[in-house]
Amino acid sequence: MREEMAVREATRLSSKLIYEVIRRDGEEELERPTRSLIWSGVAAGILISFSVLGEAIFRTYLPDAPWRFLVENLGYSFGFLLVILGRMQLFTENTITTILPLVAERSGTCLAAVARLWGIVLAANIIGALVAAAFMTQTSGIAPDLLGTINGLSHHATGFAPSEGFLRAIPAGILVASIVWMMPSQNGGEVVLIVIFTWLIAAGDFTHIIAGSVEMWVLILQGELTVHPALFGFFLPVLAGNIVGGTLVFALLAWGQVKAEIEEED
| Residues 250-265: tens digit of each pLDDT | 777 777 777 666 666 6
pLDDT for position 7: 38
Read off the pLDDT of each residue in 130-144 and give the average, rounded to a whole number.
96
Report whether pLDDT(1) > 60. no
User: Distance (Å, rounded) from C-alpha 246 to C-alpha 95?
Assistant: 5
Using the predicted structure, report yes or no on whether residue 27 has a pLDDT greater than 70: yes
pLDDT of 99 reads 83
pLDDT of residue 135: 97
Report yes or no: 49 and 129 within 8 Å, Cβ to Cβ.
yes
> What's the rounded mean pLDDT across residues 94-114?
84
Is the pLDDT at 215 greater than 90, yes or no? yes
4 or 28: which carries more pLDDT confidence? Answer: 28
Interatomic CA distance for residues 238 and 119, integer angstroms: 16
Mean pLDDT of all residues belonging to the chain: 88
Please give the Cα distance from 57 to 62 (Å, whole number): 8
249 has pLDDT over 50:
yes
Q: What is the mean pLDDT of residues 63-68?
A: 91
CA atoms of 229 and 242, how far apart (whole Å): 19
Cα–Cα distance, 170 to 130 (Å, whole number): 24
Over residues 171-186, mean pLDDT: 87
Answer yes or no: is pLDDT of 140 > 50.
yes
Q: What is the pTM of this model?
A: 0.88
At residue 12 the predicted structure's pLDDT band, cuts being 50, 70 and 90, is low
pLDDT number for residue 10: 42
- pLDDT of res. 28: 87
List of residues 6+ apart from 209 with CB closer than 8 A: 91, 92, 169, 235, 238, 239, 242
Question: Rounded to whole angstroms, how far apart are CA atoms 93 and 245?
Answer: 11
Lowest-pLDDT range of 14-23, 102-111, 200-209: 14-23
pLDDT of residue 230: 96
